[in-house]
Amino acid sequence: MPRPSQIDAQRKRLLPIVCQVFSELGYRRTTTAELARRCHVRENILYRLWRDKRAMFLAAIDDIFQSRVDRWNQILAKRPTPRQAVEAMVAYEAKHQGEFGFYRVVFTALVEADDPEIRKAITTMYQRFHTRIQDMIETNRELDQKTPGISSDATAWAIIGLATVSNIIRELKLLRPRQREEMFARTAQYLIQGDSR
Amino acid sequence: MPRPSQIDAQRKRLLPIVCQVFSELGYRRTTTAELARRCHVRENILYRLWRDKRAMFLAAIDDIFQSRVDRWNQILAKRPTPRQAVEAMVAYEAKHQGEFGFYRVVFTALVEADDPEIRKAITTMYQRFHTRIQDMIETNRELDQKTPGISSDATAWAIIGLATVSNIIRELKLLRPRQREEMFARTAQYLIQGDSR
DNA sequence: GCATATAGTAAGTATTCACTTAATATACAT
DNA sequence: ATGTATATTAAGTGAATACTTACTATATGC
Answer yes or no: do A168 and B196 touch at CB < 8 A: no
B26 in contact with A, Cβ within 8 Å? yes
Whether pLDDT at A1 is above 60: no
Query: What is the arithmetic mean of pLDDT over A29-34?
Result: 96
Q: Are B118 and B112 in contact (CB under 8 A)?
A: yes
B109 neighbourhood in chain A, CB within 8 Å: none
Confidence of residue A140 (pLDDT cuts 50, 70, 90): confident
Q: pLDDT tens digits for B141-178?
A: 887 766 667 999 999 999 999 999 999 999 999 999 99
Q: Is the CB of A42 under 7 A from strand D?
A: yes
DSSP A89-154: HHHHHHHHTTTT-HHHHHHHHHHTTTSHHHHHHHHHHHHHHHHHHHHHHHHHHHT-SS--SS-HHH
Q: What is the pLDDT of residue A114?
A: 97
Domain locations in chain B as residue ranges:
7-193
Answer yes or no: do B172 and A123 touch at CB < 8 A: yes
Q: Which residue of B has its CA nearest to A166?
A: B161
Listed as ranges, the nucleotides of chain C within 7 A of a protein C-beta are 3-12, 16-22, 26-30
Nucleotide nearest to A6 (CA to C1'): D6
Q: What is the pLDDT of residue A45?
A: 93
Whether pLDDT at A70 is above 90: yes
Q: What is the pLDDT of residue B196?
A: 53
Nearest to A150 among B113, B130, B186 (CB): B186
Comparing A48-57, A144-153, A159-168, B124-133, which segment has the lowest mean pLDDT? A144-153
Q: How far apart are CA B73 and CA B135, in angstroms?
A: 14
Q: What is the pLDDT of residue B119?
A: 98
Q: What is the pLDDT of residue A7?
A: 85
Nearest to A150 among B25, B155, B187 (CB): B187
Q: Is the CB of B100 under 7 A from strand D?
A: no
Task: Output the CA–CA distances (angstroms, integers) from residue B97 to B171, B173, B190, in the order listed.
Answer: 10, 13, 18
Non-local (6+) Cβ contacts of B9 within 8 A are none
What are phi and psi for residue A115, nearest 5 degrees?
-80, 120
Q: Are B194 and B148 in contact (CB under 8 A)?
A: yes
Q: How would you write the pLDDT of chain B (197 residues) with one tens digit per residue?
A: 566 778 888 999 999 999 999 999 999 999 999 999 999 999 999 999 999 999 999 999 999 999 999 999 999 998 988 889 999 999 999 999 989 999 999 999 999 999 999 999 999 999 999 999 999 999 988 877 666 679 999 999 999 999 999 999 999 999 999 999 999 999 999 999 887 55
Q: What is the pLDDT of residue A144?
A: 72
Which region, left, alpha or beta, applies to residue A101 given φ > 0 means left and ψ of -120 to 50 means alpha?
Answer: left
Chains A, B: CB contacts within 8 A come to 132
Altogether, the residues listed in chain A come to a count of 197
Q: What is the pLDDT of residue B16?
A: 95
For residues B115 and A147, which has the higher predicted lDDT (pLDDT)? B115
For residues A6 and A155, which has the higher predicted lDDT (pLDDT)? A155
A53 in contact with B, Cβ within 8 Å? no
Q: What is the pLDDT of residue B194?
A: 81
At the topology level, CATH places domain B7-193 in: Tetracycline Repressor; domain 2 (1.10.357)
Confidence of residue A27 (pLDDT cuts 50, 70, 90): very high
A98 neighbourhood in chain B, CB within 8 Å: none
B130 in contact with A, Cβ within 8 Å? yes
Confidence of residue A145 (pLDDT cuts 50, 70, 90): low
Give the N- to C-terminal CA distance of chain A in Å, as an integer: 67
Average pLDDT over chain A reads 92
**Nearest residue, CA→C1' of D30:** B1
Q: pLDDT tens digits for A80-126?
A: 888 899 999 999 999 999 899 999 999 999 999 999 999 999 999 99
Mutate to test the interface with B, among A24, A27, A110 (most CBs of B within 10 A): A110
Altogether, the residues listed in chain B come to a count of 197
Nearest to B168 among A26, A126, A171 (CB): A126
Q: Are B90 and B185 in contact (CB under 8 A)?
A: yes
Answer yes or no: do A172 and B113 touch at CB < 8 A: yes
Q: What is the pLDDT of residue B145?
A: 66
Question: Min CA distance, B73 vs chain A (Å)?
Answer: 24
Q: Are B60 and B105 in contact (CB under 8 A)?
A: yes
